[in-house]
Structure 1
Amino acid sequence: APARTASADPGPAVAARSAPDGGCTRSVPFSSGSHGYFTFRIPAVVQVPASASPDGRPVLVALAEGRRDSAADDGDIDLVSRRSFDGGCTWGPLKTVDDAGGDTVGNPAPVVDPASGDVVLLTCRTVGDVTKQQILRGPAAAAGARRVYLQRSTDAGATWSAPRDLTARVKPAGWRW
C-alpha cells in the first residue's frame, strides 16, 4: 500500500544551517511536538543513489519512530519517514510507513540493496500495551512479544510494501526481545 501523508502541517520551522560557501550543513527532519506526534525517536537515514532514484537525483530517506502520546518505549508508535532531494537541507512531507493501530512499530533498520537500489527495511512490532519489562520477564504471550517485519520501497522511499512478518524465520522461539 502506498505511504500516506500524515499531516499537511509541515511542523515547526527549522532553518537549515548555512555553510560559508552557501550550502547547508544541517537540518532537522523530525521535530518533537509536530505532525500529531509527542516525539520522534530512533532515527535512521539511508541515501538512495541517483542511479536508483526515479528522477535521477540522490535521495536521503529518513525514518523514525513517531511516538503519539509520550516518549515511552511502548504504546501507539508509528514508523514515519521524510525524504530530501538536496542532501538534507530541506525535507518533504512526513509520511506514515507503518501504522499498526495502537501497537508499537519501531527500531527501523534500512539498507539500500546495491543491485536494485531498493530500500529494504527491517522493523520490530509489539502489541501496544505490552512493555519491554513484561517481554523480558516472560508474561507476554508469544502473540504479544516482539515480532520482526520486512518492508521494501522500489521508488526511493516514496511508497512502501505492506509489512511482512518474518518472525518465525529469523527469531528463535526462546528469544524474548
Structure 2
Amino acid sequence: MARRLRPVGLDFVESAPLRLVFAREVSVPPGAVYRALAEDVAGWPQWFSAVTLARPLDGGARREVRLKGGTRFLETVVAAEPDAVYAYRVDQTNAPGIRALLEEWRIEAVPGGTRVQWTFAADGVWVFRVGLQVGRGGLGRAFRGAVAALERRVGVGPGSDAGAGPGG
C-alpha cells in the first residue's frame, strides 16, 4: 500500500472537486447509527457489503479498511461528534488515481428516526473522477443497501435502543 494521499481536513467535504452525496432516513435513533459507524468499526462488514475488513487503530483515531476486490485503505478519523457526524480521510491506498478522499457521515434526528447522509468527497486524475461520476448509481445503491442493513442490524434484538425515539 504505497500510495499516500494528500491530507485533507473536514472542510474538503465542501471544496472537493468531486462530491457525491446520498441520504436516507432510518427508523432507529441517531445514537444507534453513530455507535454502528464510529464505535463498532469492526462490525462494518456485517452491514456494508463492500467492506470485508474494518479495524480500528490507535484507539479509534485511525482505521484499516479492506473492500471486496482487494482495495485497501488506511484512514484517519477527522470528526467524531456523537449523534452528529463521523468522518475520515484516506491517508494511504492501493487504488490508483486518487489524490485525496474524505467520507463524511452526517446523522440528524428526524421524527421517527434518523436521517443519514453520506458525502464522498474526492480528488484524483480525470479518469478517476469520470469513473466516479459514471459509478454514482452503483455507489448510491451500495449506500442505500448498507444503510438498510445497518437499520436492521441496530434496530432489532436484545439491547437495541430502536424504541428510544429520535435523539437516542
TM-score calculated relative to the size of structure 1:
0.31
Larger radius of gyration: 1
Bigger relative CO (Cα 8 Å, ≥ 6 apart): 2
